[in-house]
Each structure stands twice: as structure tokens, then as C-alpha cells.
Amino acid sequence: MTMRFTARAVGVDEDDELECLTAGVAEDEDGEGMLLLFMCGLTEPDEEDAELGEDTHCLVTADQGTAYGAVRQLVLRDRVLRVRVDDSSLEELGLDDPEIEAVLDVDDAAIDQLRLGLARIMAYGRPDARPAEVEL
């Protein structure tokens, strides 16, 4: 059964110090409740990243569940972000179901920023770990 929540906070951050781009949606402004953080590096992955399996996008959930290359499908349409993760990543992410829907209760400018951030993140790293479907 699809996990659904309303995201009242959406953000994109490019952190030069951590060399990371993050785009996220959260149920509450204070970060409480369900959240999804999509992340990637600001530079191309190197040999060490590849050896660690960190040469692709990263997904983090509310309980700090973390998986690399887990997103199989990402669709943002009609103020709803639909995410499907690989079944093999469910335990790492602390999820019971591979399908998540976040209804975006934010302004259009925030959605536009999210769209741009997600496009960059999903195009990061090795091609075989990118989602099969991205519609932003």
C-alpha cells in the first residue's frame, strides 16, 4: 500500500562545505514527521565513491534510513511527488512499501526549485543507478 503524506516544507540546498546538493520534502516545517531527502555530490564521483557504492544519488528517510541508487521512479505532477524505491532498499530506508506519495502543500516557487534540484540529483553519477523514469 502506498505511503502518503502532505509535505508542508520543501527545500533545496547546495552546501559547498559538505560538497553536497540536497532537495527535500518534509511533513512539517520543523522536520518532524515523514521526510525524504534526495542528495548528491557537487563534483563527479571519484574512485573511492565508486568503491563505496556512493557514486550515485542518495535517499534519506525520517529515521535516517539511507540508501544509494535506491530511486527507481520519480514523478512530480499536479503538486504530487511520487517516488518508487527499489525493493532491495526498503530495509535500509526503514520503509514497508516501495511507493511513496508526497502531496506538496507549498507555493509554486518552492515546487519549481524542487523540480530543478531533483533533476540535477537524479542525473548524478553512474548511469546504471539512475531511476528508470524521471518526470519532472
- 31 pLDDT tier (thresholds 50, 70, 90): confident
Nearest-angstrom CA–CA distance, 64 and 119: 23
Q: What is the pLDDT of residues 39-54, one digit of tens each?
A: 999 999 999 988 988 8
Considering its fold, how many domains does the chain have in total? 1
Range of the domain at 14: 3-135
Which H or E run includes 52? helix 47-52
What are the residues facing 11 on neighbouring strands?
A: 24
Residue 21 has pLDDT above 80, yes or no: yes
Cell numbers standing for residue 67? 540508501
Nearest-angstrom CA–CA distance, 35 and 42: 22
The reported pTM is 0.95
Nearest-angstrom CA–CA distance, 105 and 28: 10
- The stretch 69-83 carries a mean pLDDT of 97
Three-state secondary structure readout of 62-127: CCCCEEECCEEEEEEECCEEEEEECHHHHHHHCCCCCEEEEEECCCHHHHHHHHHHHHHHHCCCCH
pLDDT score for 66: 97
- 30 pLDDT tier (thresholds 50, 70, 90): confident
Whether the Cβ atoms of residue 134 and residue 122 lie closer than 8 Å to each other:
yes
Report helix, strand or coil for 129: helix
Whether the Cβ atoms of residue 40 and residue 121 lie closer than 8 Å to each other:
yes
